[in-house]
């Protein structure tokens, strides 16, 4: 099979209220959906990894010009809504990856990026 990364961003969907402002039962329902999906994908042998990420306010950027020591900063970043919020890694055919992403999109009503994971890094 081929592995795909299904990436969720902080970009709002139809409901643009930040999760921090949701009622506890709304958060529970949201997380229950993901738990159910994850159990199904694991049972099918399709889920190989995935995580929820913290917001970009806790991220760091490491840069280097190759001559001096690396520099760690608090940015610059893409707009927060464009930052990766979480991801699944699934080992499936492309049509199945798109089907799974479609299920997530139907639930969160926001975009999912589907990217094939390279079998090997490019050789230079």
- What predicted TM-score, i.e. pTM, was given to this entire model? 0.77
The stretch 28-33 carries a mean pLDDT of 89
DSSP state of 99: H
Model pLDDT, residue 81? 55
Which long-range contacts (C-beta less than 8 Å, at least 24 apart) are formed by 97-104?
97/4, 97/6, 100/6, 100/37, 100/41, 100/46, 101/6, 103/37, 104/6, 104/8, 104/37
How far apart are the C-alpha atoms of 38 and 30, rounded to whole Å?
13
Q: Is residue 2 over pLDDT 90?
A: yes
């Amino acid at each position: 099979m081929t592995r795909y990364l299904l990436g969720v961003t902080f970009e709002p969907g139809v409901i643009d209220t930040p999760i921090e402002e949701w009622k506890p039962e709304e958060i529970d329902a949201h997380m229950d959906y993901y738990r159910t999906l994850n159990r199904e994908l694991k049972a099918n042998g399709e889920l190989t990894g995935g995580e929820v990420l913290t917001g970009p306010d806790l991220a760091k950027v490491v840069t280097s010009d190759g001559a001096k020591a690396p520099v760690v900063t608090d940015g610059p970043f893409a707009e927060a809504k464009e930052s990766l919020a979480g991801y699944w890694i699934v080992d499936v055919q492309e049509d199945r990856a798109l089907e799974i992403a479609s299920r997530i999109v139907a639930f969160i009503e926001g975009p999912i990026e589907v990217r094939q994971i390279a079998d090997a890094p490019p050789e230079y």
